[in-house]
Amino acid sequence: MREENEEQKACDPNQCETCGDASCASAKKVDAHHAAPAQDDAKLKARLSRIRRKIIVMSGKGGVGKSTVAVNLAMSAMLSGQRVGLLDVDLHGPSVPTMLGLVGQRLEGGENGMLPIEIGGLKVLSVGFLLNHPDDPVIWRGPMKMGVIRQFIEDVDWGDLDLLVIDVPPGTGDEPLSVCQLIPDLDGAVIVTTPQKVAAVDVRKSINFCKELGVTVLGVVENMSGFACPKCGEGTPILRANGGRVMAEEMGVPFLGSIPIDPLIAELGDEGKAFVESAASSPAAGAFREIVRELTV
Ligand code: ADP
């Protein structure tokens, strides 16, 4: 038998999943960390019980505008008078702080847990608020991610919310899986795609992921769907059109609507201004409002 000191020196807890030495103290520490004590389950349940609707925003691939959709749906709902939270669990590439001009904000503790950052009434939490520098990489293995996401729900003072929008990284990895497992009463998933990507298997994978986990697919949003010329108003289907609707029909899931390409979405996002607020009269902002209405009726 190894001495405790020797064990600690020799063992890297990051290797526990593959090492298989059940007698090792490091492995036990990791197991204990992963096993959720009963009082934590009660805490998680209590937090979730105060949030009426919980929606996860997913995509098959990166770059389709998933975070843009998550941010603008949350903002739109908040602007329509709902109490809304936005949880960014895109742990490796959090873009919510940039899109809302919140880079550099740090979390503070309150009487009832960590306080989300508030912007015009929208409560926002992102792993970006825990990084010393936006360029710092997050190096966490699967089970650690689950632990962090759990903390983002149970240790945060979300208060009473009408809606929690959860932005997860593209694909069907640890983060969406953790969200679906931690929130048994998830209302469902919004799946974001672009017209030219709908033929790819990735969106179908996201839909099948939800089906396998018993998560309702609330619907598909087709982003970057056509471009309306600001001068003459004529629509151009730059990336083809209607592919999202056709794919949704084929897969037997609802189609929630299309968001056109609008250069202001990218511009305002880079400037940290919420598009639906700053460009409220644009057709794209109207499309976001319509989708929120469908999701929250
Ligand atoms: P994802 O979360 O899928 O990786 P993002 O939301 O970060 O994608 O969007 C990728 C880029 O595309 C961002 O610069 C964003 O501002 C831009 N973008 C997203 N949707 C649109 C749109 N409808 N029109 C113009 N630019 C968009």
SS3 for 250? helix
Q: Does residue 40 form part of some domain?
A: no
Q: Does residue 80 form part of some domain?
A: yes
To test the pocket of ligand 1, the residue of 196, 262, 265 to mutate (highest count of ligand atoms within 8 Å of its CB) is 265
Q: Does residue 134 form part of some domain?
A: yes
* Average confidence (pLDDT) over 254-259: 95
Which residue's CA is minimally distant from atom 20 of ligand 1? Answer: 65
CB of 223 closer than 6 angstroms to any ligand 1 atom: yes
Q: Does residue 115 form part of some domain?
A: yes
34 has pLDDT over 90: no
Q: Does residue 145 form part of some domain?
A: yes
257: left (phi over 0), alpha (psi -120 to 50) or beta: left
Q: Does residue 41 form part of some domain?
A: no
β-bridge mates for residue 166, sequence order: 56, 87
Measured in Å, how far apart are the chain's first and last C-alpha atoms?
Answer: 63
Question: The CATH number of the domain where 155 resides is what?
Answer: 3.40.50.300
| CA 95 to ligand 1: nearest atom | 7
111 has pLDDT over 90: yes
Domain that holds residue 103: 52-296
Question: What is the C-alpha to C-alpha distance for residues 80 and 261, in angstroms, rounded to an integer?
Answer: 23
Based on the number of CB atoms within 10 Å of its own CB, is 120 exposed (0-12), middle (13-18) or buried (19 or more)? exposed
Based on the number of CB atoms within 10 Å of its own CB, is 110 exposed (0-12), middle (13-18) or buried (19 or more)? exposed
Question: Could you tell me the two tokens for 244?
Answer: 């999202």
Q: Does residue 136 form part of some domain?
A: yes
Expressed in angstroms and rounded, the spacing between residue 176 Cα and the centre of ligand 1 is 20
Question: Could you tell me the two tokens for 178?
Answer: 């953790």
Taking only the tens place, the pLDDT of each residue in 169-210 is: 999 999 999 999 999 999 999 999 998 766 566 889 999 999
Q: How many domains does the chain divide into?
A: 1
Q: Does residue 28 form part of some domain?
A: no
Question: Residue 4's pLDDT is what?
Answer: 41
Expressed in angstroms and rounded, the spacing between residue 62 Cα and the centre of ligand 1 is 9
